[in-house]
A and B are shown apart, each in its own frame.
Chain A
Amino acid sequence: MSKLDHQHSLLVEQEPHYDQLEPGSLRFFRDASGRFRLTIEADRSYLDVKAVRVFPLTHPERYIAFLSGKDKVIGMLIDTSVLDEASQKLIREDLERRYFTPTIRRVVSLREEYGAIYSVVETDHGEREFVAKGIRDTIEDLGDGELLFADADGNRFRIEDWRALDVRSRRLLERVV
């Protein structure tokens, strides 16, 4: 075994799972005052826990990290579905609250005029009218038909696959994508 390999294996031994948490040791719950808590192995407990997505755009459902109320990293879970139902529900609630990115189901109107984009869209959170500055700053192509819009106020809208939308929406989008 060369010296390099040896060093490499040492490194892996020291930090085998970087900061992955052991799902069995975790308990998520809300305490009496309604605060989101995480207790690990009954030896550590964190208040006001935040669930954050590690890859909010590319892997929103996997890779969930947890921060304490003071924004210190507690650890990460690649797959939360191994947790008990109640914990999963709490995590899902927190994620949905933190990441407000309505998904566009239909584009009602979309016009580009003098560098601004005016649009009305139908999302999973209801209809919304928005305006955004120039195409370049507004639409991010995430690949595979996925698009992310950011409006003038910094609100975000997602399209899962614009090629799978109805004909009219597609035609409207074709001009800007």
Chain B
Amino acid sequence: MDIEGQVKQRLKPKESLLLVTETDICRDGRFGRRWLVVTTDRMMTFSENGLPTEPEQEIPLADVAEVKSACLVGQTALEVQTDTQTLELLRCTNSLSEKFAKVAKALTDACKDDKPLAFHLEDEDEKRVCPDCGKLLPEKGSFCPACVKKHQVAARFWKYLLPHWRKALLVSSSILIGTGLQLCPPYLIKILVDDVLVVGGTAMDEGAAQLVLLVVALAGLQLMAALLAVLRGRLSAWMGSQIMHGVRFDFYQAVQGLSLRRHDKTQTGSIMSRLTSDTMMLNDVFIILGFFVLPSVLQLMGICLILIIMNWKLGLLVLLPAPAVVLLTLWFFRRIRGYYHRWWQRRAKMSALANDAIAGIRIVKAFSQEPEEVQKFSVRSGDFCEAWAVADGMWATAMPIISFITTLGTYLVWYFGGLGVLNRPETISIGTLMAFIAYLGMFYGPLQMLTRFSDFMNRAFTAAQRLFEIMDTDQEVYEDAQAESLDRIRGAFEFKDVHFAYEPDKPVLKGVSLKIEAGEMIGLVGRSGAGKTTITNLLCRFYDVSDGCIMLDGVDLRKIRLRDLRRHVGIVPQDCYLFDGTVTENIAYARPGATRDDVIQAAVAANAHGFILRFPDGYDTRVGQRGTRLSGGEKQRIAIARALLNDPKILILDEATSSVDTETEELIQRALKRLVKGRTTIAIAHRLSTLRNADRLVVIDEGKVAEFGTHDELLANKGIYHKLVEMQSKLSAIRAVHG
């Protein structure tokens, strides 16, 4: 019975129903249905069993001081704080935590601030379940892969094939003709045996002439078939590589467009192996498809037709084992597919481990862990080995058995066909029997080819699946269709109750509200892990807020074109990654068309000009992975120059001076002092002295703004900032003594 109707019957006069919502954990901690009901007077919980009778809990709204949603590990608890005690109202899994966080907020707002109680909940189920097939969605509010796949995969290959349709047509017709040609020789043999060889004697000359004609025809057919095969092969190879080029291009574009959230989770090695080996696999499949599979299918169909026309009884004998072969093959490949997948995964894991250890070889050597790393690798390599052995072992066992079963038909034909020739030559001639045997030879070849083909298709489908998986991953930070283009900005920011979590159950920002004026320099201060870098990540929209919003010049960030937003932002990140290339290329990264003057100006502004000039190759010095090693301070100054090149309105400095000595910091400081003019600057620093130019300081603590004001205001406050300043001045006093 409808829960809402039942609850309504229980209401007191003047009481009205505000919310009926379901949770997925029962009171005893088991999965199940349970309801929270809120009326104008009270809140209640009902469980499925207790539904028609009494509520499990009942709390008058008047007693409620606060409702909190406590994030636990793997679940969320809704707790009610009354004047005298804390009660647990209900629990829900992470699937519903967002909904109940909103419920808690609405209740607290109503009880604390006397706001009218109202709930604005989206239907959770609508976001979690596919409206077409009812399956759970792998990503909330996203598409359903089960519904998308059918038409999409087919359409996808068409999309890549379409530009080459002329050549595709040529390939198909060459396949068609080639197969037709292949089918002729056995029939010619039948004529040769029955009409020329067996009849023999009577007219020697006529017979010899026919013989020559037939032999020449046989040879001619084979030659034409060979030439067609060459044409087909060359065209398939060309098209295969062209199509792979298209797939690779789209894949790489998707990789570049992937959200950072996704990149955080995906190992580089796994993307690399998809890019190289999976696309190769698709290429192979394409060639195999064009070269072997389609001709095989056509050949099979043609042979079936001819056999049945020639002698249907014998024809059926040939086909007898075919269903068994097909079924066995299908069953076998369904099983082996998983093993190949496992093998692929273990290979990816193995290379990821090697990648990791080689990238971190300095640390490995510094702690002399080489033998341990070798040991770890050996374990992974062994796993990989084992997976391969299992998969190939299954393959090696099943294939000969399937092959044997396919030959059963031959014995049947020899026996029954032979009986026919011996006893009733009028029904079956020697020529027909020989043609049959010849066709048989051609029949089982393609059938086995097709069984092998299913293996290739299996590998191809897993490969395609992995490629499409990345391509299908929605870019988490997406652009609004009506996104505004921003040519000029002032650079005023406003955070309105911003919540954010990298992992759903670990909130980092818990309601940050902040107003930053245009052209202001703001220093972000706080413990590590307090959420400072997260704030800058959100400003650049590397991630989207979970709740609340960020406004730039009064416009929601999500309504601004990403390119425009990032054009106005210059960022000097914590880890200054330089690409493999020259100093000039690295500085001009944001604008490859920048003039040499622009580059030099940016370098001068970043106080990098001096040290660059001291390199023998000057601005042409190669840096990055295979280039000159730069010190932390040098890298940082190049990164600053890179950030400045576009003359951004907004400058983000994330620990821009953390890894440099005091003297270099002084240099960078001087550079920064010039740079922050006219720009909105957000600077993160542990060394508070770095922030002495800041107009205002924000202290972030526990994911919230703890203090906000000028240096003097915060000192007078005697809060967290005051404590930090005291601590650091003590530290520098120590340094002064020891230094």
Contacts and interface: CB of A to CB of B under 8 A. Distances in A.
A116 B466 CA distance: 11
A113 B146 contact: yes
Contacts of B614: none
A100 B93 contact: yes
Contacts of B503: 154
A134 B262 CA distance: 12
A175 B334 CA distance: 11
A127 interface: yes
Contact of A175 (B135, B338, B466): B338
Contacts of A163: none
A98 B72 contact: yes
A116 B74 contact: no
Contacts of B148: 114
A152 B74 contact: no
B99 to A, nearest CB: 11
Given A114-B472, A126-B32, A153-B504, A34 B85 contact: yes
Contacts of B504: 153-154
A44 B266 CA distance: 46
A62 B91 CA distance: 26
A133 B32 contact: no
Nearest to A34: B85
Contacts of A134: 469
B105 interface: no
B138 A131 contact: yes
B519 interface: no
B345 interface: yes
A35 interface: yes
Contact of B84 (A33, A131, A176): A33
Given A35-B86, A114-B149, A115-B472, A154 B94 contact: yes
A115 B142 CA distance: 14
Contact of A118 (B32, B84, B135): B135
Contact of B265 (A34, A102, A137): A137
A127 B31 contact: yes
B465 A130 contact: no
| Interface of B: prevailing SS | mixed
A71 to B, nearest CB: 8
A6 interface: no
B368 to A, nearest CB: 19
A6 to B, nearest CB: 22
Interface in B110-131: 128
A113 B149 contact: yes
A125 B77 CA distance: 16
A35 B86 CA distance: 7
A159 to B, nearest CB: 15
B21 interface: no
A15 interface: no
Contacts of B138: 115-116, 131-133, 152
A128 interface: yes
Contacts of B266: 136-137
Which of B93, B95, B469 gathers most chain A CB within 10 Å? B93
Contacts of A33: 84-86
Nearest to B142: A152
Contacts of B145: 113-116
Contacts of A115: 138, 145, 465-466, 468-469, 472
B418 to A, nearest CB: 46
A3 interface: no
Contacts of A174: 338, 342
Contacts of B230: none
B15 interface: no
Contacts of A56: 73
B136 A129 contact: yes
A152 B137 contact: yes
B612 to A, nearest CB: 42
A155 interface: yes
Contacts of B140: 152-153
Contact of A133 (B29, B139, B505): B139
Contact of A131 (B137, B341, B702): B137
Interface string B659-671: 0000000000000
A97 interface: yes
B226 interface: no
A84 interface: no
A154 B505 contact: yes
B30 interface: yes
A76 to B, nearest CB: 18
Interface string A8-41: 0000000000000000000000001111000000
A86 interface: no
A99 B149 contact: no
A142 interface: no
Closest 7 pairs (CB-CB, A-B): A175-B338, A115-B469, A100-B75, A100-B74, A154-B504, A131-B136, A126-B31
5 contacts: A101-B74, A126-B31, A127-B31, A153-B94, A155-B74
Interface of B: 25, 29-32, 72-75, 77, 84-87, 91, 93-95, 128, 135-140, 145-146, 148-149, 265-267, 270, 337-339, 341-342, 345, 348, 465-466, 468-469, 472, 503-505, 702
